[in-house]
Amino acid sequence: MKDITARIDFRANTQAVSPAMVAATQKNARTALLKRSEVVVEFGEERWQQLRRAGRELRLHALTHLDRYLSMVEENVIAAGGHVHWARDAEEAHSIVLDIAMQNSVRNIVKVKSMVTEEIELNHALEGRGIRVYETDLGEFIVQLAGQRPSHITAPALHMTKEEVAALFREKLKVDAQPDPKLLTEIARQRLRKEFLTAEMGISGGNFLVAETGTLILVTNEGNGRMCTSLPPIHVAIVGIEKVIPDWESAAVMLKLLARSVSGSKITAYNTFITGVRKDGPREFHLVLLDNGRTQILRDEIARETLMCIRCGACMNICPVYNQVGGHAYGAVYPGPIGSILTPLLIGTRIAGGLPFASTLCGACSDICPVMIPITEILLHLRRRFVEGDDFEGSSISGTLKAIAKAGRYVLGSPSLYRLGARMGKIFQAPLRSGDWIAAMPSPLDRWTMARPFPAFRGDFRGWWKKHKNAKDISGGKAS
Ligand code: SF4
């Protein structure tokens, strides 16, 4: 298992990104965005905004009544013959799943794509005990074969071209794979067929949990979800506690929002509804309700809206930063704008405090989010938490930088001090200046100039305006 206490260095990670990966990410993200906008235009802008507002309201309502709805889920799942387990963290979730596996002599597991199992690194825990885990979603199958982590929450292999996938299949599966998506899919299908039929356990996540009936909703496009949750004799679903929604009316709203935002379709190909044990399904159904830091997030009045996320991936597709660096640069399970807020909230700002800074704050993510999560507001809030150290971990910023930031705030808030500062800056920059730029700032400000040049001080705007206001170069539209 990787060291989860190592600080995520977003800037260093971006240096490992290849141009081919960026090109594939941009192409695939653009296609997804185009499809989404077509289907939203067809739905009607006004209706879409109404649907978004309804989705937001009901997700907020569910989050503020989690205790009630989770109890309803538990009661209804047990009444339908299922088992409910509560896991405080990854370790507890691992031991619950391992216990079920050991009691039933499970050696092979087929899995549906699930971000929450990536979050708790379930595959590592199972494989560490000699159990083989087969990812059955095509994208997950590819990244598992490549030994990588997903680069997108709905399209795990978004960063790969068909040529790269064909080469991977040739190398790992020893087959004559050509770069044709249909043929590659067929190869994966053939490989997985035997595993579907022989696995003793199927593991899934869940898109929603409907409290009024205790139903798990699973939304997939490939049909593998149905196979994993109906063929093996045991089905274990691991679901974050925030996924609960009150009733089927809520489900109708959420499914419309999700399908359009994920894949630009009116409805996802496979919507699977599972309530406890079915006559024609697995003999055992286990629901693991996972906290893993979520109740801690709920305590933060601003950041708690992060838990409304329905994992559609639209914020990634539209994000200019994600499109420049791809998902792996975020160094964590959840990439893109949602990852930049969710990761530090889940694993702490000490480790992931740099991620909220991996944003231009353009606001495109908040605008596209189907449940209207104010991502930019939460990014700013987390930056503040990181700098001020007002969370349980303490500040991650050096005392010198803090003093400089405080002085900067004071100077920028006073016109006279600002003018004086600009004049002093002009004088003191002389030894560092190279033409119009300052190539390297002294420590600790050198972190800025390591990444980009800093423009030299050229006096304050008022002084410049006084000198130029009557000049022809301004009236002609060419201010020098
Ligand atoms: S934050 Fe919003 S746009 Fe991004 S994945 Fe979650 S629901 Fe989708």
Place of tokens 């199927």: 202
Express as a percent the part of the chain with pLDDT over 90.
69
HSE-up of residue 318 (Cα within 13 Å, Cβ side) = 22
Query: For the segment 151-178, what is each residue's pLDDT rounded down to a tens digit?
Result: 999 989 989 999 999 999 999 999 999 9
Position in ligand 1 atom list of the atom nearest CA 314:
3
Going from the Cα of 178 to the center of ligand 1, the distance in angstroms, rounded, reads 34
* pLDDT higher than threshold 70 for residue 431: yes
* pLDDT higher than threshold 80 for residue 401: no
Closest CA to 7 of 348, 378, 398: 348
Place of tokens 């889920």: 73
Q: Considering only CA atoms, which residue is closest to atom 3 of ligand 1?
A: 369
Query: For the segment 293-331, what is each residue's pLDDT rounded down to a tens digit?
Result: 999 999 999 999 999 999 999 999 999 999 999 999 999
Position in ligand 1 atom list of the atom nearest CA 337:
4
Which fold does the domain 44-292 belong to in CATH? Answer: Rossmann fold (3.40.50)
Find the distance separating the first CA and the last CA of the chain, reported in whole Å: 57
Going from the Cα of 261 to the center of ligand 1, the distance in angstroms, rounded, reads 9
Q: Count CB atoms within 10 A of the CB of residue 213.
A: 18
Closest CA to 214 of 85, 74, 64, 65: 74
Q: Which of 245, 373, 375, 377 to mutate to test the pocket of ligand 1 (most atoms within 8 A of CB)?
A: 373
pLDDT for position 392:
43
Regarding the beta carbon of 309 and ligand 1, being less than 6 Å apart is answered yes
DSSP secondary structure code for residue 242 in this structure = G
Query: For the segment 74-88, what is each residue's pLDDT rounded down to a tens digit?
Result: 999 999 999 999 999
Q: Residue 158 carries which side chain, given as an amino acid letter?
A: L
Alpha helices in 177-291, H assignment, sequence order: 181-198, 224-230, 248-263
Q: Which of 37, 371, 379 to mutate to test the pocket of ligand 1 (most atoms within 8 A of CB)?
A: 371
Regarding the beta carbon of 97 and ligand 1, being less than 6 Å apart is answered no
What residues are paired with 208 via a beta bridge? Answer: 217
Q: Cα–Cα–Cα angle for 314, 318, 321, nearest 5°?
A: 120
Q: Count CB atoms within 10 A of the CB of residue 295.
A: 13
Query: For the segment 339-367, what is each residue's pLDDT rounded down to a tens digit?
Result: 999 999 999 888 888 899 999 999 999 99
Going from the Cα of 291 to the center of ligand 1, the distance in angstroms, rounded, reads 19
Going from the Cα of 304 to the center of ligand 1, the distance in angstroms, rounded, reads 14
Ordered by start, the domain boundaries in the chain are 44-292, 399-475
HSE-up of residue 69 (Cα within 13 Å, Cβ side) = 23
Mean pLDDT of 115-134: 96
Mean pLDDT of 224-231: 94
Q: 109 and 199 in contact (C-beta within 8 Å)?
A: yes
pTM, to two decimals:
0.84
Q: What's the mean pLDDT when you consider all of the chain?
A: 90
Q: Residue 327 carries which side chain, given as an amino acid letter?
A: G
d(CA 218, CA 403): 50
pLDDT for position 480:
39
DSSP secondary structure code for residue 460 in this structure = -
Q: Considering only CA atoms, which residue is closest to atom 6 of ligand 1?
A: 309
Burial of residue 252 (number of CB atoms within 10 Å: 0-12, 13-18, 19+): exposed
Mean pLDDT of 50-68: 97
Regarding the beta carbon of 310 and ligand 1, being less than 6 Å apart is answered yes
Going from the Cα of 454 to the center of ligand 1, the distance in angstroms, rounded, reads 34
